[in-house]
Chain A
C-alpha cells in the first residue's frame, strides 16, 4: 500500500465530492418535468417531439401501478426487440465479421442481461456480436436501463417527499428527460474524451497484425474421433475493431458494465490510459453519488442526503482498503517459493494499472451495479475476491447502480428505521412518514425474493452436473465462481468472477431468470413503497422525530446494511473465499 495509491485515493475522493452537488442539482432539474437546463434550447423540441410520438395523454402523472406497468411494458418490448435482433444477426447489416445468429438461450440471457442493466456477458463481444447488435440491441439498453433506474429512484423520492397523493410522476417523461438531458449529452463529451485517450470508434472489419516474434502452441484437434495435440505456428493476430468509445461512455456512466470487448476495461481500446481509467471509475459512481444529493434536496433535508453519502463512502473506503491490502501483499504461497511480493498479486491484473487501480476499480464496480472490470477477480487472492462479493451482497447499494443504488439503499433505510426507530419511543417514521405493515411488507419483499433466488440457484448449481461443469476451478474457488455468478446477476451487477463458463443452456436460463427477478422483483416493491408513502400525511418534524442524519444514523445504516444485507450470506461466503483464504494461509493448497 504505497504513497501513490493513497494520493490517488485522496484525489478520487475529492473529485467525487466535488461532482456530487452539481450533479445532484442538475438531477433536480432533469427530473422535474418543468425543470430548465442549459440544453433546453437544443433539446426541448426533441423532447416535445417524443411526447407527440407517444401521445400527450401518456405524459400525465401516474400512480405507482401505472408507473410500474409502464416500466414493465417498456422493458418487455426492449427485451423482445433485443432477443429478435440477436437471433437474426446474420441477416442484418454492419456485420463485417459475418457472425452467425446468437443461440436462443444465450440470446435470452443477453436480452435479460442488458434490459436489466446487469450486462452479464456469457459471450465475448468481439467474437459474437455484430456492430449492429452492439450498437442497437445492446447499447440502446445501456441508455434505457440506466434511465429506468434513475426514473424509479425519482419516483420513490417523490413518494417520500410528497403528501396525500397517489401520483409519482410520469415514467415516459422521466425516461425521456433522463436520456435527453443527462445521459446523452454527457456521453457525447465522454466518448470524444475517450477517443482522445486512444479508444477506437470505427466500423472497420477486424485488422490483422503480424506478431513481432512468431511462436508455436499445441492445440487439440479432433481427427477421426480422436483428439490429438497439434502444433500450430502463430504469426498473426486479429485486432478487433468497432464503435468502442461510444459504448464505453454509457457502459460506465449508466453502471451497465457490458464491455464491447471480452476483456472489458482491461482492454486498451476500451480503457487506454491512467486518465481514462480514473474517469471511468469516477463516471461509474458519479450519478449514484449525485442522487444522494438529489434525495436531500427533494425531501428538504440535505443533511439526510449527506448522511447516506457518508454511509456509502465509509463502506466504499473499507472495501477499497481491504481489497488493496489483500492484493498488495502478494500470494503467500508464491512468496514462500521465493517470488518477490513487491508488486503484490499481479495475476489477472493489467501491468498498466497495477494493484491499487485494480483494487479501486474492483470496489467501484461492485459497490455500484456496474460490473465493468479492469482486472480478473478470479485471480484475486481470496480476501481480495471477497470484497467484490461482499459489496454485491450488500445489494450493490454503495453509491450503487444509477437509481437502483439509491432505491436499494432506501429500502435498507426503511428497514433500519423500522428495526431501531422504535428506540426513540415512537412508532417508526421516516422523514415524518409513519412506516406501517405495508411498507415493511414491500420492503422485505424486495430483499427476500432476490436473496432466496440467488441462494437457491447457487445451491442447485452446486449439486447438478451442469452447474459443476461450468466451473473453471475446483474446491472453494469453484464454489466462489458459482456463488459470484448468481450474486452478480441478482444484484444486476454483471461483473464475473471469470473462470465460470456460463454459456450453457442451463446457466443461460437460470442466470437470465435471476437477472429479471433481481430487477423487477425489487423495482415493483419499490414503486409500491413509493405509492404508499406518497399517500401518507407527514408528521411535522420536531426534536422528537427520528433523526435521519448525523453520526448515529450513518452508523445505523451501515450496521443494517452489513448485518441484514451482507451477513445473511456469511454462511455461504465462508464456504468460498473464507475457507479458501485459510486453506491458502494455513496449508499449501491453492485453487
Chain B
C-alpha cells in the first residue's frame, strides 16, 4: 500500500463524507455523543416550533434561519467525523484491493497437499507456499526460508527474508513469496488476520472511545446538563421579568453555550491521530495505545538500529611496528574482500582511502576465500601463497601461533576502552596491525534526545554490549541512561522497575524473547519483521521496522492529546463572547436600557442571536483541518507548552468569537437576513 497523505479536501473523501453526514443523523448513533445529541434535539424542537408558528401565521424568517443553522451544526459535526473516517477508509480500500482470492496448499496429516480456499484455513493448519504464490493467511514459517514481497502492507518494494526459527519467522497473509518455498503454520482464523485487523483499524470501524475520551465526554455531558438547567430556568426568570423568551431563542442560547465545538470534533481528533500514525506506517492496536504514547516518560531504545546504524564501521588502521599504514590497509582489504557484512564492506571502503583501489582481477583467479565461522572467528583469503586473516585479537593470536606484539596489544585494549571493537589483521605469521571498528551513532539523535529531556522524557539505551562500550555510545548519543549486557529478561525487569516508580515506558522489540517486555511496556512497538509473538505482545506495529520510529510515535501521541486539549479550551472559552452576544439580545425588547451591554454593537437582537448560532456552527467546519492535522507540535517543557497553547487557544478562544460574531453580524445585515 502506497500510503498517501490525503489532501484535506480530496474529492474522493469529501463527497462520501457529505453523504455520511446525513446518514449519521440517526439519533441512535448520535446518542454516543451527548453534546451533539442535545444539539439534534434542539434542531428538532425548533423545527417543530417553526411548523407551529407557520400554521399560526406568525413570521417564520428568524426561527427558520435558527433552525436551519442548528441542523447545520449537527451536520457539520457529523461531517468532521466523516472526514476523519473517510481518510481512514481510503487507506483501507487500498488495502482491500491488495487482497485477492487466494488458494492455499494445505498440508494434510498424511503428508499430501490439498488445494483449498484461503478462507477455509483455520488456526494451526499447515500450508506450503511456493515462489510466486500469495501467502494465504498470517502464520509462522516452520520450515525453509524465502524472500517475500511485503509491499502490500508496508509500501516498501524491497523484498524481505522470512525464515523458520529466529526472529524473522512471521509472515502476513496477502504478501507474496518471490523465491524458494516455505512451510507455514497458520496463526489466525479468517477475519482475524493482521490485514483484517489493519483494515478495521484504519477504517475506525470498531473504534472504542479511549479512557481520556470517555472522561472528557463525561465532563462535556455534565457541562451540557448544567447549561440545560441554566437555559431552562431562564424561562421562569423571564416570566418574572415579564419577558417571554421563545423556545427558538432559548434553544439557540443552549446550543451556543454547550461545548459543540469540541463535542463535534472529539472523535475526528481521535481518528485523525490513529490515521497520522498510519501515515507513518505504524499501526496502533487501539486508540488507548496512542494516548499512552503521549504519556510515556521513559523510552527504552535498543542500541542497534535505533541509536547506532546497526553495524560497526572501520574508522582507523593502527599498524604494527615496522608495518606501514598502506601495507596494513592492503592486507585488511584483502582479508575482507569475502566479507559481505557491513563491517567487512566498511573495511574495504576505508582501505580505498589509502589509495588501494585498482586490483587486477586475475590476481584473484586462484584466490581461496575463507568465510567467517563462529569457530575460527576469522575470515580472510589465501592468495598467491599468502594467507591473509582478520578477526578477534585472541583468534588471530592463535592463528599466528604467538602473542600479539606489545604495541598492537595496547591498541586493541585502547580501542576496547573507547567502547569500540578491535580487529587484528595478519599476513601469514605476521601481525600487521589492528582495525578500529566503531559503532556509528545516527545523526540528529542528540538534538532529539535533548528536546525529549526538555519535555521530561528520559531515554534509556539497551544493549548487549559490555558496560564500557555501552557507556561510550550512551555518552556520544546523549541518552540519559543505559542498560549494558542486557538480556531480554533484564529489559522486562527494567520496565517493571520504572513502572513501579510511576513511569510510563515505551519500547520497541522484534524477537520472541522481547514479547514479555513488549506486553509489559505501556507502549510496545513491535517491528513488522519480528515474530508473531512479538507482534501480538505489542500494542503497535511498525510496518517499516524502523526502531527510531518510537520517537515519532511519542510525538504523535502528544500531538493528539494537545489537539484535544486545545480545542476543548477553545470551545469553553468561546462561551464568554456568546453570552455577550445573546443575553443582551434576549433582554433588549423588555429592557432597551440594557443596550450598552451589547458591547459588540450587534445590529438587532435577531441578528445577534443568529450570528452567534452561525458562528457556533461554522467554527466546527473551520476547525476541521486543525482537528485532522493536529496542532503544531513543539518539543518544549510542559510549562512552556501550556503558556503557548493557553495563549493561542485560551485567550484566542476568548477573543476570536467576538470578532467572528461581529463579522457575521455585519454580513447578515449586508445580505439582509435579519
The interface of chain A, by Cβ under 8 A from chain B, is 415, 418-428, 432, 435-437, 439-441, 444-445, 447-448, 451-452, 455-456, 458-460, 462-463, 468, 475-476, 479, 537-540, 542-547, 550, 552-553, 555-556, 559, 563-564, 567-572, 574-575, 578-579, 582-583, 585-587
Contact = CB atoms under 8 A, between A and B. Distances in A.
B274 to A, nearest CB: 16
A583 B233 CA distance: 23
B667 interface: no
Nearest to A586: B593
Nearest to A434: B295
12 contacts: A423-B565, A423-B569, A425-B557, A425-B561, A437-B214, A448-B225, A559-B573, A574-B584, A574-B594, A578-B594, A578-B597, A582-B597
A181 to B, nearest CB: 35
Contacts of A463: 236, 239-240
A575 B291 CA distance: 44
B215 to A, nearest CB: 4
A567 B223 CA distance: 12
Contacts of B214: 437
B642 A423 contact: yes
Interface of B: 211-212, 214-216, 218-219, 222-223, 225-227, 229-241, 253, 291, 294-295, 297, 453-458, 501-504, 557-559, 561-562, 564-566, 568-569, 572-573, 575-576, 579, 583-584, 587, 591, 593-597, 633, 637-639, 641-643, 645-646, 649-650
B569 A538 contact: no
Contacts of A468: 240
Given A459-B236, A571-B230, A427 B561 contact: yes
Given A420-B569, A544-B455, A578-B597, A426 B234 contact: no
A444 B218 contact: yes
A437 B218 contact: yes
A423 B238 contact: no
Contacts of B564: 422
Contact of A579 (B572, B573, B594): B594
Contacts of B558: 425-426
A440 B639 contact: no
B241 A479 contact: yes
Given A420-B646, A425-B561, A427-B212, 18 more contacts: A418-B219, A422-B566, A423-B562, A423-B569, A432-B502, A444-B222, A448-B225, A456-B229, A456-B233, A475-B241, A539-B297, A540-B297, A543-B455, A547-B642, A555-B646, A571-B237, A572-B230, A582-B596
Contact of B219 (A440, A570, A572): A440
Contacts of A539: 295, 297, 502-504
- In the complex, the 5 A-B pairs of residues with the closest C-beta atoms, listed nearest first: A544-B456, A422-B565, A425-B558, A542-B456, A423-B565
Contacts of A574: 583-584, 587, 594, 597
Contacts of A422: 212, 561-562, 564-566, 568
B314 to A, nearest CB: 40
Contacts of A420: 565, 568-569, 642, 646, 650
B226 A437 contact: no
A180 B633 CA distance: 54
A479 B650 contact: no
Contacts of A437: 211, 214-215, 218
A448 B223 CA distance: 8
A415 B237 contact: no
Contacts of B236: 459-460, 462-463
Contacts of B291: 427
A572 B569 contact: no
Contacts of B649: 423
Given A420-B646, A563-B575, A571 B583 contact: yes
Contact of B638 (A427, A432, A545, A569): A545
B638 A543 contact: yes
Contacts of A476: 241
B643 A552 contact: yes
Given A459-B237, A540-B502, A579 B565 contact: no
A574 B218 CA distance: 29
A583 B591 contact: yes
A545 to B, nearest CB: 6
B636 to A, nearest CB: 9
B521 to A, nearest CB: 15
Nearest to B590: A579
A548 to B, nearest CB: 10
Given A463-B236, A543-B455, A455 B594 contact: no
A564 to B, nearest CB: 7
A448 B226 contact: yes
Nearest to A429: B295
Contact of B240 (A427, A451, A479): A479
Given A563-B573, A583-B593, A550 B646 contact: no
B294 A572 contact: no
Nearest to A579: B591
Contacts of B576: 563, 567
A42 B468 CA distance: 65
A455 B593 contact: no
A359 B633 CA distance: 47
A567 B579 contact: yes
Given A459-B233, A476-B241, A547-B642, A575 B650 contact: no
B261 to A, nearest CB: 13
A487 B564 CA distance: 34
B219 A419 contact: yes
Contacts of A455: 229-230, 233
B295 A427 contact: yes
Contacts of A439: 215
A552 B502 contact: no
Given A420-B569, A420-B650, A545 B456 contact: yes
A579 B587 contact: yes
Contacts of B232: 459
Nearest to B253: A571
Of A418, A426, A444, A475, most B-chain CB atoms within 10 Å: A426
Given A542-B297, A567-B575, A424 B226 contact: no
B646 A423 contact: yes
Contacts of B231: 571
Contacts of A563: 572-573, 575-576
A547 B297 contact: no
Of A432, A441, A543, A587, most B-chain CB atoms within 10 Å: A543
A306 to B, nearest CB: 16
Of A420, A458, A538, most B-chain CB atoms within 10 Å: A420
Contact of A424 (B229, B297, B593, B638): B638
A332 to B, nearest CB: 13
Contact of B502 (A423, A460, A537): A537
A209 to B, nearest CB: 43
Contacts of B566: 422-423
B288 to A, nearest CB: 10
B641 A543 contact: no
Nearest to A536: B502
Nearest to B234: A571
A574 B236 CA distance: 14
A413 to B, nearest CB: 14
A162 to B, nearest CB: 14
A447 B503 CA distance: 32
A456 B453 CA distance: 51
A559 B642 CA distance: 14
Nearest to A551: B643
Nearest to B584: A574
A452 B456 CA distance: 41
B593 A538 contact: no
Nearest to B639: A547
Contact of B646 (A427, A452, A552): A552
B642 A544 contact: no
Nearest to B215: A437
Contact of A546 (B502, B584, B594, B642): B642
A538 B502 contact: yes
A556 B646 contact: yes
